[in-house]
Structure 1
């Protein structure tokens, strides 16, 4: 993997992003292609094209159907009135929302004909909980490397609809190639691979949970609405997808290691679906988490809006991270299952020792086979570009 181009500022844009903005705007200005609306009715028309109306409701309760429609209304209103998107951001919003509607219908079509897939019995999952940038990805991949456990492939999170033959790795690989072109610092922020174990953020985004969207766009109206809303409908959809994914991947008998920073906000709703889950709670110095989180979000928002503001973004994520921490502590106060705690600094200093204490806390035997697989995963991660992100943050601070 080649060296990264300089990133002089958290909101810096790559040349490919600037070219895309100009090209898309020119297409609209010259009438070559129309600028797509971000109105719910129009997005629904595009996203549901080719599906039966029954696909919207199949396998879902009334509250879940209503919740998705309401989320779409509120999110679209925020995008139109608050986000101030440029041509690239507008196009990305249009693509993500029509894709969410399309995948939701595709899932419903499967559950209409094969409802048993969404009801597959699965082993109790292991849930990695914590702030983003707190070492959750590292713990997630180490735990999932254990042959007795399972992890979600990035391509399955990106597109949970199973197909035969399974072309999802190829499509996800192509999407990642485009994403890396537009944002060449992506791998330093979060190392990806089309079939690599990754967080289930795609499943949450498909139900219009806010994590994916608030990391890209200034949408305070939608974020406030979502934080005050009951997330249970989102996790009903999440649970059906997980059960179906376990059935189609053939790993229902192995504990799935789950991870997404959004779990920190919604832990009671997730645990209502999986009350026998075991938790791994990751912690890191709050100032370091904030700096790293702001850097990640700025890399996405800076290329999608010309009015992205670093001070506003920093204040928002300081608030958001405090909210998530409060909710984690509140949820842990009533949880009676097994919990392991992971410290970022200790994980850096001696990851094998930290893994050993996690397994002991969760009452899971740590085999030599598991350690060998984890060492291979650790070596793979060590060859990535994530160390470049630390240097970027240091350079931002130095001015």
Structure 2
């Protein structure tokens, strides 16, 4: 992992890729694809039947996706200030979302039972990004009585036989690590490792994955004010499909994504009996870590390099999420466990014990053994480098 001297630092591989793509466009070797909804739709829906857009979905949900695409494209064109690499990545992600939406519809048209599969009530980890949600998520999912979502299945929720998704996800991660060599310090990835379901939200064009990459304030504001119900209806269909496909529908799925903090009532509407695990961390530390993560993703994709604007936006965003968490919890009558970030660092086994007691769940020896293996795996990763990076940023500012 090379040194990261500044939150907006970029890797040489990213800079070279940006220059290479720009040169291809300037020389007319390849055409710059427009970020236009109709064009993207033509590309993403190629090879699918028209009814694949509608299968399993209400007309309001179909219209919601179309409107989200239109709004997001307008924001990308008018606000994001994308460079050639960022434009290419936006094009790839949006055409992929359209393709996956059609592929899911085709799967549901072929087997209508998939999006209706009965599942155990999930356990949802709720909290701010950078507040220990990933650690809690993976510890809980390590319990053999629970289930988790593989990164490759979040990245591509369309079931296939044979299942080539781990290989494809591994290739995508290899490219991502070339573009951003600090990726695993920010969030430890693995193709088949348990991970958050942000890919399922992105497949419905929730803002979660996009606002952490691009400056799209009008789309974000519009999304924050809009009912996220259609997004979570799609999310529920994907979860039921994944559970049926993976053969773990009888075990509680441990779900986690920071976007849940913003949309918790919409998520809970689809999953009666959900148990919540809410993480807490010092607000200043959350902002500092979040800004570092977002800056690292935005810098390679945009000519816009304004760290103060990123900081201000994520202070606002995190405050909004906190307000929405508190409001949702005030009206929630189910089981809730609270996790303190510092206590989790100091004695994770004791904190896990508190969580299981609060949720009235048995903590077996097999579960603890699996969690210890997960902790050893996490300790061997490179995510601890992020703390050092942040300390170096502060030292550089002081100097």
Please, what TM-score do these two structures have when normalized by structure 1?
0.99
**Is the counterpart of residue 111 in structure 1 residue 90 in structure 2?**
no
Of 38, 42, 48, the match for 1:41: 38
Instruction: Report the alpha carbon displacement of residue 275 of structure 1 after superposing the two structures with TM.
Output: 2.1
Counterparts of 2:114 and 2:56, CA distance in 1: 10
Please name the residue that 1:137 is paired with.
134
Residue by residue over 1:222-241, the C-alpha shift from the partner in whole angstroms, topping out at 9 and shown as x without a partner, is 00000000000000000000
Please name the residue that 2:260 is paired with.
263
Of 308, 312, 331, the match for 1:334: 331
Counterparts of 2:58 and 2:155, CA distance in 1: 24
Counterparts of 2:300 and 2:178, CA distance in 1: 12
Residue by residue over 1:296-353, the C-alpha shift from the partner in whole angstroms, topping out at 9 and shown as x without a partner, is 0000001100113100000000000000000000000000000000000000000000
Matches within 5 A, 1:213-252: 213-252=210-249
Counterparts of 1:233 and 1:75, CA distance in 2: 16
Of 183, 189, 196, the match for 2:193: 196
Counterparts of 2:284 and 2:272, CA distance in 1: 32
Of 13, 16, 39, the match for 1:19: 16
Counterparts of 1:18 and 1:129, CA distance in 2: 36
Of 356, 359, 369, the match for 2:356: 359
Please name the residue that 1:281 is paired with.
278
Residue by residue over 1:162-218, the C-alpha shift from the partner in whole angstroms, topping out at 9 and shown as x without a partner, is 111000000000000000011000000000000000000000000000010000000
Matches within 5 A, 1:1-399: 4-399=1-396
Instruction: Report the alpha carbon displacement of residue 219 of structure 1 after superposing the two structures with TM.
Output: 0.1
Secondary structure of the 2:138 match is helix
- Unmatched tracts of structure 2, length 5 or more: none
Counterparts of 2:193 and 2:378, CA distance in 1: 11
Please, what TM-score do these two structures have when normalized by structure 2?
0.99
Counterparts of 1:13 and 1:72, CA distance in 2: 28
Aligned length, in residue pairs: 396
Counterparts of 1:340 and 1:304, CA distance in 2: 38
Q: Root-mean-square deviation (CA), in Å?
A: 0.4
Secondary structure of the 2:91 match is helix
Secondary structure of the 1:282 match is strand
Secondary structure of the 1:88 match is helix
Counterparts of 2:28 and 2:384, CA distance in 1: 45
Counterparts of 2:275 and 2:174, CA distance in 1: 35
Counterparts of 2:305 and 2:91, CA distance in 1: 19
Structure 1 residue runs of 4+, over 3 Å off?
none
- Unmatched tracts of structure 1, length 5 or more: none
Secondary structure of the 1:199 match is coil
Counterparts of 2:220 and 2:294, CA distance in 1: 15
Counterparts of 1:70 and 1:306, CA distance in 2: 27
Counterparts of 2:94 and 2:43, CA distance in 1: 10
Residue by residue over 1:111-168, the C-alpha shift from the partner in whole angstroms, topping out at 9 and shown as x without a partner, is 1111101000000100000000000000000000000000000000000001110000
Counterparts of 2:181 and 2:78, CA distance in 1: 29
